[in-house]
Amino acid sequence: MATVLILGATSDIGQAIAVKFAKKGYDLQLAARNINDISALRSDCSIRYGVSCTVHPFDATATDSHEPFYASLPVTPDITVLVFGYMDENELVTRDSKKLMNTINVNYTGAVSVLNIISRDYIRRNKGVIAAISSVAGERGRAANYIYGSAKAGLTAYLSGLRNEAFSHHVHVATILPGFVYTRMTENMKLSPLLTATPDLVADAVFRAVTKKKDIIYVKWFWKWIMFIIRSIPEFMFKKMKI
Ligand SMILES: NC(=O)c1ccc[n+]([C@@H]2O[C@H](COP(=O)([O-])OP(=O)(O)OC[C@H]3O[C@@H](n4cnc5c(N)ncnc54)[C@H](OP(=O)(O)O)[C@@H]3O)[C@@H](O)[C@H]2O)c1
């Protein structure tokens, strides 16, 4: 069976993705900053679903470690799912240079650094699938979250270019746009149930994107149209709006 590498496996969405793939019989490589935080997930997946499951320390911001990290994996993963991310309140981020740089370094620089290494290998092998969680926040800069949004915009553009390059090498690249999701990241936000997905729904979308080779998936379909409308508002009007 194929092996799936999950980068950011401690996240609520990452755990749901791990369980989804394990249930379908895929072997797992779980990567996270603190591997103690994924030991329960590891036992759960291997005992309950009988798949091989290994854990690997990984820090998105330690870009010098990305090459040795990938080289140290016991087998080359057939599928890589990038889940890690960092979001804090925009107002705090604009006032705190550490949070500012972490937002850019985790969501953009760290993601591009590790995916560049993995995609070079997949392109050389002429096979492999990469799925990454970006965000609808990257589709238009809004006062409420434009630092995070601009880093995710960079990631979305990177994935688009990589998909374009990788296609002729039989490597598939999927962009997952979840809209709001009930997770640790959004626990202090008041979210509309209609607009908000569960981690399990995101995991289903990732599985579909990987197995059906989808390019871009909005987890709740109407986010595509919400963002179409938001992108269509002329800038002279948009700058006066609080959305
Ligand atoms: N929740 C939403 O509404 C929403 C919407 C759109 C997109 N997303 C995206 O979905 C993804 C998963 O987020 P989530 O909602 O499941 O939130 P979460 O539970 O807070 O997960 C964030 C994950 O990122 C990891 N991470 C942060 N900094 C890292 C670093 N330097 N190196 C490695 N890992 C790091 C965290 O690891 P630790 O456990 O070590 O902190 C955690 O596993 C993120 O990319 C997020 O931007 C979320």
pLDDT digits (tens, 9 = 90+) for 5-56: 999 999 999 999 999 999 999 999 999 999 999 999 999 999 999 999 999 9
Residue nearest to atom 26 of ligand 1 (CA): 84
**Number of other CB atoms surrounding residue 105 within 10 Å:** 18
- Measured in angstroms, how far is the CA atom of residue 8 from the centroid of ligand 1? 7
Give me the pLDDT at residue 181, please: 97
Task: Indicate the top mutation candidate among 182, 183, 184 to test ligand 1's pocket, ranked by most ligand atoms within 8 A of CB.
Answer: 183
- Contact 13 CB / ligand 1 (< 6 Å): yes
Residue nearest to atom 47 of ligand 1 (CA): 85
- Contact 77 CB / ligand 1 (< 6 Å): no
CB within 8 Å of 91: residues ≥ 6 apart: none
- Measured in angstroms, how far is the CA atom of residue 114 from the centroid of ligand 1? 16
**Number of other CB atoms surrounding residue 44 within 10 Å:** 16
- Measured in angstroms, how far is the CA atom of residue 229 from the centroid of ligand 1? 27
- Contact 158 CB / ligand 1 (< 6 Å): no
pTM for the whole structure: 0.98
Task: Kindly list the structural domains of the chain, giving each domain's residue range(s) and its CATH number in brackets, ordered by start.
Answer: 3-238 (3.40.50.720)
The residue with tokens 């997952």 is: 176
Band of pLDDT at residue 203, cut at 50, 70 and 90: very high
E runs forming strands in 27-168: 27-32, 53-57, 79-82, 128-133
At residue 124, does pLDDT exceed 90?
Answer: yes
At residue 71, does pLDDT exceed 90?
Answer: yes
The residue with tokens 């509309």 is: 192
At residue 108, does pLDDT exceed 90?
Answer: yes
The residue with tokens 């092998």 is: 125
- Return the SS3 of 172: strand
Using alpha carbons, select from 93, 201, 235, 80 the residue that is nearest to residue 151.
93
- Contact 54 CB / ligand 1 (< 6 Å): no
d(CA 65, CA 209): 28
